[in-house]
């Protein structure tokens, strides 16, 4: 496997960063997860725009412009003969001194990994996913804007561990008000009385690329879609529920906190979203 590392494509065994890189020492950096379908990088421009916004929010100057970053992503996919897979694009603050201050750090490190991925087993897409709410809360939006896709994922990791400890694949994360924020790496949608709902960004939700794609699909299907504060009660009593994410795509959720969602089977409308999303990903991409 070839890894893009600061302008070079190197074997994975030789892809190394300094132990003084602030991405390692402090989680100081940003990243994007991007999908590749049939040789096309899905919504690459949207991902790179979000990367730029995340970097700007944390005062990190990207060493490549958008066109150069896009070429680096495509070059990495080609170097690995990949036509379907997952791309992890990481930019760290770079090498610096011990201590929180980024003074003297740099230049930033750019790392691109292109590989296969399967986040959930295929049977969960057919039968639906069961999730559970966990004690670890999503970081307050006033402390760290959820739109910043940073390398600081410890609370999401703890939530995932808590769910796994009690036998669940995924955790439902609440904010400090007890409202639904998101799952550990996915956005949440529910369908109730013909309306599709998803938590607003200020509830602690990431501005997901797949989330946006699903909202566009809802418009195409003529289904009202509203960003609205949701509680666990709204998920417990929903007719249908599904999660969205770059790696997860669109996956049905059939149980929340031991409560059956709908009839306990993936809903008909959820299946329409899955089918439409899978159709769109092969039409809305950048050819490598």
In sequence order, which residues have a C-beta less than 8 Å from that of residue 167 and are 6 or more positions away? none
| SS3 labels along 156-171 | HHHHHHHHHHCCCCEE
Is residue 14 among the annotated active site residues? no
Handedness of CA 217, 285, 157, 24 (dihedral sign): negative
Radius of gyration over alpha carbons of the chain, in Å? 19
Q: Give dist(CA 124, CA 129) in Å, integer.
A: 5
Instruction: Specify whether the CB–CB gap between 43 and 284 falls below 8 A.
Output: yes
Q: Give dist(CA 207, CA 240) in Å, integer.
A: 22
Q: Which residues pair with 86 in a beta bridge?
A: 35, 115
Q: Give dist(CA 279, CA 274) in Å, integer.
A: 9
Angle at 225 between CA 199 and CA 237, to 5 degrees: 60
Per the residue annotation, which of 43, 130, 149, 160 is the catalytic one? 149
Residues identified as active-site: 149
């Amino acid at each position: 496997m070839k890894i893009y590392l600061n302008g070079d494509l190197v074997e994975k065994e030789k892809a190394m960063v300094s132990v003084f890189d602030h991405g390692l020492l402090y989680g100081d950096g940003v990243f994007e997860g991007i999908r590749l379908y049939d040789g096309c990088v899905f919504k690459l421009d949207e991902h790179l725009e979000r990367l730029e916004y995340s970097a700007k929010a944390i005062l990190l100057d990207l060493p490549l412009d958008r066109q150069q970053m896009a070429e680096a992503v495509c070059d990495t996919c080609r170097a690995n003969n990949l036509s379907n897979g997952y791309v992890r694009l990481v930019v760290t603050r770079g090498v610096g001194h011990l201590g929180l201050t980024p003074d003297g750090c740099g230049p930033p490190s750019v790392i691109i990994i292109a590989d296969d991925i399967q986040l959930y087993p295929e049977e969960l897409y057919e039968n639906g996913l069961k999730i559970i709410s966990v004690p670890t809360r999503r970081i307050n939006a006033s402390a760290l804007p959820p739109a910043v896709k940073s390398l600081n994922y410890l609370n999401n990791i703890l939530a995932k561990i808590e769910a796994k400890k009690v036998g669940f694949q995924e955790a439902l994360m609440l904010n400090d008000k007890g409202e639904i924020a998101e799952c550990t790496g996915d956005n949440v949608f529910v369908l109730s009385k013909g309306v599709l709902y998803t938590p607003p960004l200020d509830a602690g939700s990431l501005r997901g690329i797949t989330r946006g794609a699903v909202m566009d699909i809802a418009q195409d299907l003529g289904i009202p879609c509203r960003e609205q504060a949701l509680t666990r009660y709204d998920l417990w009593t929903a007719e249908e529920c599904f999660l969205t994410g770059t790696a997860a795509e669109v996956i049905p959720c059939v149980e929340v906190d031991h409560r059956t969602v709908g009839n306990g089977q993936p809903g008909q409308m959820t299946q329409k979203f899955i089918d439409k999303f899978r159709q769109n990903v092969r039409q809305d991409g950048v050819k490598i």
